Amino acid sequence: MSNYNKKELQTYLNKIDRVFKIDKLLSTKVDEDLTVKYYRANGKYYRWLHSKQGAMHFPLYFKTGREGRSHAEGLLQQPLHIQKKVRETNAMRILELGSGQGFNSIFLAEQNPHAEVIGVDLTPSNIAQSKRQAKYKEVENVRFKECNFEQLHFADNSFDLVFAIESLSHSQHIEHALSEAQRVLKPGGQLIVFDGFLQQPIEVITDENLKKAAQLFTIGFAMHDFRPIKSWLEVAEKAGFQLLHQEDLSVETLPNLINFQKGSKKIFDYPRLSKIILGLRLLPIPLLKHAISGVLGPYIMQSKTVGYYCLELRT
């Protein structure tokens, strides 16, 4: 797991630089507007290439003991874990932070017809697609609202369970997002998070190529950044959360990351053609930048620069 192909990473950083100029990319200011533009431009490609049902997260592949051996099964692993917690806690009001195109919230609403599920998301096109999907599937106990999860429009102590699947890494101010999650949760309520984290602070990473790769990966996904898991948990504790469980699922993300990488490499294997496509706007720029993340994902995960975790916390 700690090994990765250093020479190959250097080669692809050079190829990416020929198309986009890495220094310019690294100066990108990732804010809410850029995140919305990313999802607006790439929404249909997620449905076309990743999940017709609207899933936007990484599938998890477990070798033994748990399902998740196909792409479709892998995409269900995070919502199935949330469903397990819903049953354990008898949660009747459930909130998803960054609900994307509604896959997870609709799934939970279907599994729990007597519960109320609400998904909030910044991107209007995501909310519109979520509503269409819920209407198509005739799921009546789910609602979607356009909302910044750093400023939730809900009363204190109004949810039994809050979850976020690969969305809190988009937060501009994680302390605000966690404080808001804590505020709307009832006493003893749980927050479940699936996301990527730095294994150590970016400034102590000595391999400059890995440091660049981690930063470029976040830009390709229009994420604010990867935060070190230790400092993230310290912020959560200050917000009033207690860590119940922490599980490293990095290995389980690799099959998908490697498959994603195979397709993404093809774009940068022909940098002259890619520059023409970029110049003529034949494909959306956010989609081409997304391919940067596709190329670099396995390197940062295999080197243990970044880890993918499930965190369970309680107020």
Task: Assess if residue 66 is contained within a domain.
Answer: yes
Task: Assess if residue 121 is contained within a domain.
Answer: yes
What is the pLDDT at residue 2?
A: 62
Q: What is the CATH number of the domain that holds 68?
A: 3.40.50.150
Helix (H) or strand (E) holding 208: helix 208-220
Question: What CA–CA distance (Å, rounded) separates 298 from 210?
Answer: 11
* Side chain identity, residue 233: L
User: What string of pLDDT tens digits covers the 315 residues of the chain?
Assistant: 467 899 999 999 999 999 999 999 999 999 999 999 999 999 999 999 999 999 999 999 987 555 557 899 999 999 999 999 999 999 999 999 999 999 999 999 999 999 999 999 999 999 999 999 999 999 999 999 999 999 999 999 999 999 999 999 999 999 999 999 999 999 999 999 999 999 999 999 999 999 999 999 999 999 988 999 999 999 999 999 999 999 999 999 999 999 999 999 999 999 889 889 888 888 899 999 999 999 999 999 999 999 999 999 999
Question: What CA–CA distance (Å, rounded) separates 91 from 238?
Answer: 25
Task: Assess if residue 118 is contained within a domain.
Answer: yes
Structural domain count, the chain: 1
Question: What CA–CA distance (Å, rounded) separates 220 from 242?
Answer: 32
Scanning the structure block, which residue is given the tokens 């996301």? 195
Question: What CA–CA distance (Å, rounded) separates 161 from 279?
Answer: 46
Distances (CA, A) of 229 to 3, 93, 195: 21, 28, 10
What is the pLDDT at residue 225?
A: 87
Question: What CA–CA distance (Å, rounded) separates 28 from 219?
Answer: 7
Question: What CA–CA distance (Å, rounded) separates 247 from 232?
Answer: 15
Distances (CA, A) of 291 to 125, 143, 274, 302, 305: 21, 32, 11, 18, 19
Task: Assess if residue 92 is contained within a domain.
Answer: yes
Task: Assess if residue 265 is contained within a domain.
Answer: no
What is the pLDDT at residue 67?
A: 52
Question: What CA–CA distance (Å, rounded) separates 142 from 136?
Answer: 12
Give the structural domain span for 152: 32-207+223-252+303-314
Q: What are phi and psi of 152, to 5 degrees?
A: -75, 140
Sign, Cα dihedral of 146, 151, 156, 162: positive
CA atoms within 13 A on the CB side of 247: 13
Task: Assess if residue 170 is contained within a domain.
Answer: yes
Task: Assess if residue 3 is contained within a domain.
Answer: no
What is the pLDDT at residue 218?
A: 97
What is the pLDDT at residue 281?
A: 87
**What residues does 118 pair with on adjacent strands?**
95, 143
Task: Assess if residue 126 is contained within a domain.
Answer: yes
Scanning the structure block, which residue is given the tokens 């790769």? 213
Scanning the structure block, which residue is given the tokens 């830009």? 219
What is the pLDDT at residue 1?
A: 46
- Classify residue 272 by burial, with Cβ atoms within 10 Å: 0-12, 13-18, 19+: exposed
